[in-house]
Each structure stands twice: as C-alpha cells, then as structure tokens.
Amino acid sequence: MLKVNEVLGEVKDLYREVVGTPAPEIRPESYVAFPPGVDPVRHALDEVQHLKTLSGWMASMPKPVAWIPQADTFTAEDAYVIRLEIPGVKKEDLKVIVAGGECVVSGKRLEPEHGELRPLNLERPWGSFERRFTLPPGGDPDKVSAKFKDGLLELRIAVNGFGTPREKNVEVA
C-alpha cells in the first residue's frame, strides 16, 4: 500500500506542477478495475514516468505569451525606428536581444492590484509578452539602441551596410 501512496503522491505533485493548482481528490467509488493480468501499481509507475518525461519536455519549450504589444515602425535617413506601446511595464522587466537577424523584445506586465475592488471587466492584458522584428536590410546588429519613457519603448536600428549576425544584449536606457 505504501507504493500506491507514493505513486499517488507523485501524480498529485506532477498535476500541481503542470496545472498550477492542487490535484482534485478522486473518490474510491470512481475507481475503475484493471483488466486481468495488468498490475495497477506497475501501470501507475509507468504513467508517472511518462508524465515526468512530458513535463521535462514542456519545461524546455518556449513559454506562451499572454499579450502582444502594439508596435509602429518608421524609417529615417540613417535608421529604422520601432515604437512599442507597453504601459505598466517596468524598465527592469524589459529585455531586448539582437540575435540571428532578429531584434527580440520580451518582458512582463504584472497583474494590477485591485485592493478592495472586484473587477467587472478587464481589458488590459498582463503577463509575459514577446515581439520579434527581423532586422531590415542593411540594419547593423551592433548599432541597435533602446530608450524607454512613459510606457513607450523606442528601438533604433542603424542602417549602414550588412552586419554579421550574432547575439547581443541591448541596454535599455
């Protein structure tokens, strides 16, 4: 019986890890009998191992984004300019990376505090976001700058020939 309880404990832990909430209790009357010749404990152990493998794969996959900020793009004589609307995002929660011919902007906006208020309708999304922009022809990956002010992130990509693709962190000013 100890083995069964260990397996059930592992299943509940995996459920909590994947779903994010405690596993529901399963009443004994909802149990289903196994066919003759099938060891229920062995079957449960195999299922737990399978779930652990799936959980490991899921952890290595990209996390889904909760929202996508709107962006405007412009061109100037010497640069391309991208402006992203990201109100409510803190500068320290922003990340801008230039890699593989792309400029990737990611970050998160925290869920707003409501205090004693109970929401009736929420239209402003919160959580993780990511936007990817292909570097324009002639865009120099070494000359990408980022400025953040009043909820607007401005990326400026200098144009002066074809740069060599590589990864670079961009400091947000």
Quick check: 104 and 80 in contact, CB under 8 A? no
pLDDT at 153: 97
pTM for this one? 0.58
Confidence of residue 5 (pLDDT cuts 50, 70, 90): confident
pLDDT tens digit string along 154-173?
Answer: 999 998 754 445 567 888 87
What residue ranges define each of the domains in the chain, with the CATH number in brackets?
Answer: 2-60 (no CATH), 71-111+125-170 (2.60.40.790)
Residue 163 pLDDT: 45
Residues 27-73: pLDDT tens digits? Answer: 777 777 888 888 877 887 888 888 788 877 776 776 677 889 999 99
- CB environment 68-100: b (16+ within 10 A), e (fewer): ebeeeeeeeeebbebbbebeebeeeebebbbee
Task: Please give the pLDDT value at position 42.
Answer: 82
pLDDT digits (tens, 9 = 90+) for 64-104: 778 899 999 999 888 999 999 999 899 999 999 999 889 99
